[in-house]
Structure 1
């Protein structure tokens, strides 16, 4: 049967909702958000200023937020400390890239692969499996630390990169987030792709993943922050396998004489995740504004 294209298509006009707020209400809301923004950015400003403070300003009480005599001696002290360490700085950086990158990419990939059948397929035990995933979110990492260590030891991958990377694949929050977002994609779009001859892998990579880009970008930011803060001290015994975070924390715990280098360490620990978030945030906002599919 041929479709009749002679009839004009009806257009649906949606009336945009307008907010009726007075000038005083807008001003009050702006002031409230400005105060909240100042309180949120104030710790970051203090971290940056502490990295530039000399030792006499770091030990001053009460502490000052802004630096008066900025200098870069703290950065040079940190560089000297890391250069004189038994393990070179490049090795710590390489370990961090492997652990953080592997854990982030692997978690996003495995969470997406596991969320797709839960969101777009019907099979026995689907609801039970999803309830188990939700239930796993109720337990903190301290509760599962001993069972995780026993499993890692049983697999024989203790004191390896996999001991830190592999547990990151099974983080339940990522699967929950991706699954909830995949359910917003119309089932008719998936069925149309199947009628056109696309297999499940083609549907997953060409249709599902591009449309859930905001979800897995957000998940990548959260997982990157989690992996960046992982010192690996539970599973990694060899000094040559430990990440940069471990070496930086050792400097922080070295006492008052290294407070200048410790301030730079705090700056580096905060700057890397924030930079990664800023880079991904533009993509998340852009994708959210250009996507959004409805039946």
Structure 2
């Protein structure tokens, strides 16, 4: 009997574990290098930015590039930096919230209910993922122009509601949720909204956290120059990229622009990733 319950030994040796950790460390260094180089470039004086061969870390770190950037933004003309920031935050927040609500509610219906045309509708959503934004840009513009949304926030927000990736992700994840769990909640007297908000959504947290990451990254980095023409409605990324294109004299400010643009998506990804891993480890369900 003691032989049958003998402790199982791992297949890898100590040398194999060391090699695996070394490999993972090298991969991590390769992935984090662009971020480190971007931040260090933003902290370099102008003369160090043009040194050859380039150095990874600044010899005389400074925050002058960031201060110069905000001064330039303040002198840019009619619109202040805070206005550009508000436009971007508003578009990102409303677009992400609407996308999350519509995608999750639609996915719940398709994943847990049978109705005529449901499978056909999901096939249409799947096919729509094959087309990039460049392919659909002209019909999107014509539709938005017909609705009278050109040069408004809704020209960017409403199309974000219908992004097919979030719908597909939520539907596939909800299909793995046990139907017995939903039926038990209904037997206890829960209505559809209670089942959706208190049973389904907490148990598919990894899916909607991932959806938030993708949506925020897409909307935060959206220049919106195709649909928005008024300066007071333009996004922060558009304004920063105009400064970045100001020539050699603004090379330092351009490096600072890169950090400002990427800092929000990276922070959201870092904080959301930990919650996704924790949820996936602690909320497994079996039918």
Q: TM-score, normalised by structure 2?
A: 0.94
The 3-state SS of whatever aligns with 2:87 is: helix
What do the CA deviations read for 1:217-250 (whole angstroms, capped 9, x no partner)? 1110111001111011010010000111111000
1:68 paired residue among 43, 59, 62: 59
Aligned pairs for 1:145-164 (under 5 A) are 145-164=137-156
Unaligned segments of structure 1, at least 5 residues = 1-15
- Structure 1 vs Structure 2 CA RMSD: 1.4
Aligned counterparts of 2:25 and 2:272: Cα–Cα separation in 1? 24
Specify whether residues 112 and 82 from structure 1 end up closer, same or farther in structure 2 by C-alpha distance, changes over 3 A only: same
Aligned length: 280
Partner of 1:42: 33
Displacement of 1:282 after TM fit?
A: 2.2
**Counterparts of 2:188 and 2:28, CA distance in 1:** 50
Structure 2 residue 20 is matched with structure 1 residue 29: yes
* Residue deviations 1:81-113 (CA, integer Å, cap 9, x gap): 011122011111110111111111111111001
SS of 2:143's equivalent in the other structure is helix
Match of 1:13 in 2: none
Moved segments of 4+, more than 4 Å? 16-19
Matched, 1:101 2:93: yes
| 251, 256, 264: which one aligns with 2:256 | 264
Task: Name the SS of the counterpart of 1:64 in structure 2.
Answer: coil
Q: Distance in 2 between matches of 1:73 and 1:294?
A: 56
Conservation of the 8 A alpha-carbon contact between 2:43 and 2:58: yes
TM-score (norm 1): 0.92
Number of the residue aligned with 2:175: 183
Deviations 1:142-196 (A, max 9, x none): 1001111111111111110000100001111101110111111111111112222
Q: 1:250 aligns with which of 228, 242, 247?
A: 242
> Counterparts of 1:136 and 1:18 in 2: how far apart (Å)?
49
Q: What is the DSSP-based 3-state SS (H/G/I as helix, E as strand, rest coil) of the residue aligned with 1:294?
A: coil
- Does the CA-based 8 Å contact 2:89-2:220 persist in structure 1? no
- Structure 2: gaps (5+ residues): 1-6
Residue number among 175, 185, 207 corresponding to 1:193 in the alignment: 185
1:215 equivalent to 2:207? Answer: yes
Taking structure 1 as reference, are residues 17 and 274 closer, same or farther at Cα in structure 2, changes over 3 Å only?
A: farther
Equivalent of 2:223 in 194, 216, 231: 231
